[in-house]
Amino acid sequence: MDTIKTDRPKKTNYKKWAFILCIICILLWIASTAVLLSISTTIEIEILVLMLNIFGTISNISLITGMILTILSISNKEKKNYQYYTSIIVFPILILQTALVYIQTYIG
């Protein structure tokens, strides 16, 4: 018997994971803002700083990973849908926002 080999292109889900990381980044920015707005005397400063550092670290890792996955999605010419377009639009905005925060923190 002869076996037929088919060379199917490998299906990738880069845009799906980039979209998930995009949502995670947005939720972490919202959570950080909520923590900053709810500063009260009941929250100690050390705990507040720790929470913001954790949110920032996870957000930065998600942002960098999401941008890499978005670039891989573009280079592999994945099918374009809402996940693809959301990642293409939101990640540059988040990078700009992150850059502005760092500029304000370290220069301003």
Q: Give the pLDDT confidence of 86-101 residue by residue, as tens digits.
A: 999 999 999 998 899 8
> What's the total number of domains in the chain?
1
Q: What is the CA radius of gyration of the chain?
A: 19
Q: Is residue 63 a part of any domain in this protein?
A: yes
Q: Give the pLDDT confidence of 33-81 residue by residue, as tens digits.
A: 888 877 765 667 788 888 888 988 999 999 999 999 999 999 999 999 9
The pLDDT of residue 3 is 66
List the domain range (segments joined by +) for residue 48.
Answer: 14-106
Q: Are 15 and 87 within 8 A, CB to CB?
A: yes
The pLDDT of residue 42 is 65
Q: Is residue 55 a part of any domain in this protein?
A: yes
Tokens 């913001």 sit at which residue? 52
The pLDDT of residue 71 is 94
Q: Is residue 80 a part of any domain in this protein?
A: yes
Q: Are 95 and 63 within 8 A, CB to CB?
A: yes
CA 22 centroid distance within chain: 4
Q: Is residue 89 a part of any domain in this protein?
A: yes
Report the predicted TM-score, pTM, of the whole model to 2 decimal places.
0.79
Q: Is residue 4 a part of any domain in this protein?
A: no
The pLDDT of residue 73 is 93
**Amino acid, res. 44:** E
The pLDDT of residue 7 is 62
**Amino acid, res. 24:** I
Q: Give the pLDDT confidence of 6-28 residue by residue, as tens digits.
A: 666 667 789 999 999 999 999 99
Q: Where are the alpha helices (DSSP H) in the chain?
A: 14-37, 45-75, 82-106
Q: Is residue 8 a part of any domain in this protein?
A: no
